[in-house]
Amino acid sequence: MHHDLLIVASEVLFSPFMDGILKDWTPSRPHGSSAGLSLSGGIDSTACMAIMPDDTVLLHHRRSFKSLLKHDGADSLFKHIERTTGRTVHSIPSDHENIRVHWGKSVGFSTDMAAAVHLILLADHFDLRGIAIGMPLDNTYLWHGFRYRDFSTTVWWQRWGSLFKSIGLDIILPIAGVSEATAVRIVQDAGLGHVVSSCLRAKHPGCGRCWKCFHKNGMLGHPYNINSREIQTFLSKRPVRTATHALWWVNEQNHWDQVPDLSHMSELDFSWWTKHHPPAFDLLPDWIRPVIQSAIETATEPIPVDSPFHTWNLFPDAD
C-alpha cells in the first residue's frame, strides 16, 4: 500500500480532531486504471452504479459493531446484483465510525469522505484512479438542500477534490447534477426499484417510519406512516431537512396539511427538480465523463437557464 493512502485515510478520519496530519507531506502516488464506487445499497449510490461503467469496482462499508442500523436491505440488493449481473460487491467491515466517540460525539462518519475510507485504503489493491460517492444535487448545488450555490467554488470541492487528485484518485460525483427524485428514476429505469431500499432500520421495503422511508422509499411505492414520530419531527423543523426534495414530495403527494405554515410554497415551480444541471458534468474527470453524461442526458432533460433553480432559496432568513 502506498504511504499516501494512509496519510489521506488519516485525514478523512481524524482531521476534525487533529491538526497537521498533512504537514511536511509530499504526495507521490500515481493514478491507477479503474473507478471505484462507495456502494451503500441505498438509492443514491445505486443510481451511481447504474450510470457508471460496468467494470466499476463496487465496495460497501459494513459496520462491524453492534448497531441499530441494519444491512439486510443492502445485502438483498447485493445478492440480486451478483445473481443478475455476475458482479461482486466487496463488503468491507470497519468500526471507524466509533472514532468520534472518543471526542464526545455520536457514532458516525468523521467527515463526508470518511464514507469512502475503505476505497482509499484499498485503492492500490483494486488499482483505482477514481472514487465515486452518491452525492446528489440536494447536497452539491443546494446548500443544506434549500439554497442555490455554485458547488465548484465551495471549500468542500476545492479541499477534497485537490487532495484526492494529488494521490491519483479523482473524486467522481456521478449524480451531482441531479436530485434525489431523479436518482430514484434512474434506479427504476435500471430495473432495481423492486429490490433497493434506503432504509437502514428494517429489511426491504423498510420500516415505513423513518425519514428515508418518507422521502426516498416512498417514491418507490413503499409504504410510510406520515404520522410517525421521526417523520413528523423532521417536517416540523425549519428549515425542513433536505428541504427541496422533501417539499417537492409533499407537493407530489399533497401533504401540505402536514406543513400548513409552508402551504404557500405549493405555488412554487418545482418542475426543474426532475431535470439535470449541466455544469455538474464539468466536475467529472475526462476519462469517465462521457459514459456518465450520456446516461444522465438520456434519463432526463437539462434545467432551463431561466429556471428558478438558479436563484433558489426556500428559507432566506436561515443561516
- Residue-wise pLDDT for 101-139, tens only, equals 999 999 999 999 999 999 999 999 999 999 999 999 999
**pTM (2 decimals)?**
0.95
* pLDDT value at residue 254: 95
CA distance 31 to 272: 37
Round to the nearest angstrom and report the end-to-end CA distance of the chain: 43
Average pLDDT over the chain reads 96
Q: Helix or strand or coil: residue 276?
A: strand
* Mean pLDDT on 293-310: 98
* Mean pLDDT on 181-191: 96
Angle formed by the axes of helices 289-299 and 43-51, nearest 10°? 110
CA distance 131 to 128: 7
Give the three cell numbers for residue 267. Answer: 405555488
Q: Which fold has domain 3-181+273-311?
A: Rossmann fold (3.40.50)
